[in-house]
């Protein structure tokens, strides 16, 4: 038993931490080739992302990143590729930035905030219905449909900001700035808004639901084999629609938290692309919400400190996405080297792999023999 535990820990380290380390090393070599100093860059990441009060800025950024990661995990646990996260995030953000000032003017801030959150979640969930129904009823590839819906959402958001929600007092197309006293309150003694606590609570709740409840088991069974799920009485159509709605609703909720937590308004053509950044992190976390917390914290520090560090090192800010891409690359390489014959199975929870995947593997082996 101890040997199995040690082996599992080693495999977890290799497949989760090693890709990050390799990505940092190779990104450093790329900086050298570009004439920049990797030591200055990483020192700047530490200085601007952690030291002094900068760690509070990193934790504030961590809030929407973690909620987006949870939303992606929910869909991926059901083997559904919800890649419409950028548009869903912006829909939630525009609900907060456009609808928020209207509500705050006529009702108490607490009640207005709750309404904004509910409407944001509903907007994200409703926007996911088209790719979900097409997937459930006709087997349409949800990668394509969710991406298309994301592009449409981005266009709709820009139209709203330039039209209905535009602040008439400024020439730049943006929404009205929300007064500071109507934003999410700070954690006492810090400059971190309570969105951080909400994100951590959501991660814990999602972890419990996915790993300790019958609903989580249903998601894992459906993700492992929709046909097997139908045989045990699960409604595949309902599962697809529900998982898409939860995933998209959470991602839209992250957008509203971000606006009410730190941005206070939204400009046209603004897109932080949080989903692109956290995508490799949810794989490194093996689709476990709590395990995603340290990886998201790592990226939050990298993004917070890396923005100024990149500028001082003479690098484009988009170099951060190069690091994310390298993480994804090395994650794929280590996964392939570690388990060529069962590529991807390490992402499936161990208990589910034993109860669901092994029977199919044995059947395949008997057939080939």
- Residue 236 included in any domain: yes
What sign does the dihedral 52-56-58-59 (CA atoms) show? positive
The whole-number pLDDT of residue 313 equals 86
- Residue 348 included in any domain: no
Distances (CA, A) of 306 to 45, 277, 279, 317, 367: 5, 13, 19, 8, 53
Query: pLDDT category, 243, cuts 50, 70, 90?
Result: very high
Distances (CA, A) of 159 to 126, 163, 166, 252, 331: 19, 6, 9, 18, 38
- Residue 6 included in any domain: no
Distances (CA, A) of 367 to 106, 190, 226, 353, 363: 69, 62, 22, 20, 6
Determine the length of the chain: 369
Q: What rounded mean pLDDT belongs to the chain?
A: 88
Average pLDDT (276-281) is 91
* Residue 268 near residue 58, CB atoms below 8 Å: no
Query: pLDDT category, 312, cuts 50, 70, 90?
Result: confident
Which structural domain, as residue segments, surrounds residue 182?
A: 16-338
The whole-number pLDDT of residue 365 equals 46
- Residue 281 included in any domain: yes
- Residue 356 included in any domain: no
- Residue 343 included in any domain: no
Instruction: Supply the CATH number for residue 232's domain.
Output: 1.10.3470
Query: pLDDT category, 147, cuts 50, 70, 90?
Result: very high
The whole-number pLDDT of residue 100 equals 94
Total domains in the chain come to 1
Determine the Cα–Cα distance for residues 89 and 102; give it in Å rounded to an integer: 20
Query: pLDDT category, 362, cuts 50, 70, 90?
Result: very low
Residue for token pair 């790719």: 131
- Residue 351 included in any domain: no
Q: What percent of the chain has pLDDT over 90?
A: 68
Alpha carbon 302 to its chain centroid, in Å, reads 16
The β-bridge partners of 193 are 186
- Residue 103 included in any domain: yes
């Amino acid at each position: 038993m101890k040997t199995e535990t040690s082996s599992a820990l080693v495999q977890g380290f290799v497949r989760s931490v090693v890709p990050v380390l390799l990505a940092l090393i190779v990104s450093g070599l790329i900086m050298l080739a570009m004439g920049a100093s990797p030591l200055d860059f990483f020192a700047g990441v530490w200085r601007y992302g952690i030291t002094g009060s900068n760690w509070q800025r990193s934790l504030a950024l961590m809030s929407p990143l973690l909620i987006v990661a949870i939303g992606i995990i929910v869909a991926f646990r059901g083997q559904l590729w919800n890649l419409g996260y950028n548009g869903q995030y912006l829909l939630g953000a525009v609900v907060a930035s456009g609808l928020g000032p209207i509500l705050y003017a006529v009702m108490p801030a607490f009640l207005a905030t709750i309404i904004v959150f509910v409407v944001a979640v509903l907007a994200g969930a409703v926007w996911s219905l088209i790719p979900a129904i097409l997937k459930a009823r006709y087997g349409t590839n949800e990668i394509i449909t969710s991406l298309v819906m994301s592009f449409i959402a981005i266009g709709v958001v820009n139209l709203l900001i330039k039209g209905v929600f535009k602040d008439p007092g400024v020439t730049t197309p943006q929404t009205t700035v929300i007064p500071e006293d109507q934003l999410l309150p700070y954690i006492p003694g810090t400059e971190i808004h309570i969105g951080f606590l909400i994100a951590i609570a959501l991660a814990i709740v999602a972890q419990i639901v996915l790993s300790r409840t019958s609903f989580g088991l249903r998601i894992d069974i459906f993700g492992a084999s929709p046909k097997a799920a139908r045989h045990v009485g699960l409604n595949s159509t309902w599962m697809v629609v529900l998982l898409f709605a939860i995933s998209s609703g959470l991602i839209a909720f992250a957008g509203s938290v971000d606006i009410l937590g730190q941005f206070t308004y939204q400009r046209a053509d603004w897109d932080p692309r949080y989903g692109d950044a956290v995508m490799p992190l949810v794989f490194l976390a093996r689709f476990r919400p709590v395990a995603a917390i340290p990886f998201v914290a790592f990226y939050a520090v990298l993004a917070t400190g890396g923005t100024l560090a990149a500028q001082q090192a003479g690098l484009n800010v988009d170099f951060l996405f190069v690091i994310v891409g390298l993480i994804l690359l090395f994650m794929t390489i280590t996964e392939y080297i570690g388990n060529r014959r069962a590529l991807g199975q390490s992402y499936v929870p161990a208990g589910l792999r034993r109860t669901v995947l092994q029977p199919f593997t044995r059947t395949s082996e008997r057939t080939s023999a």
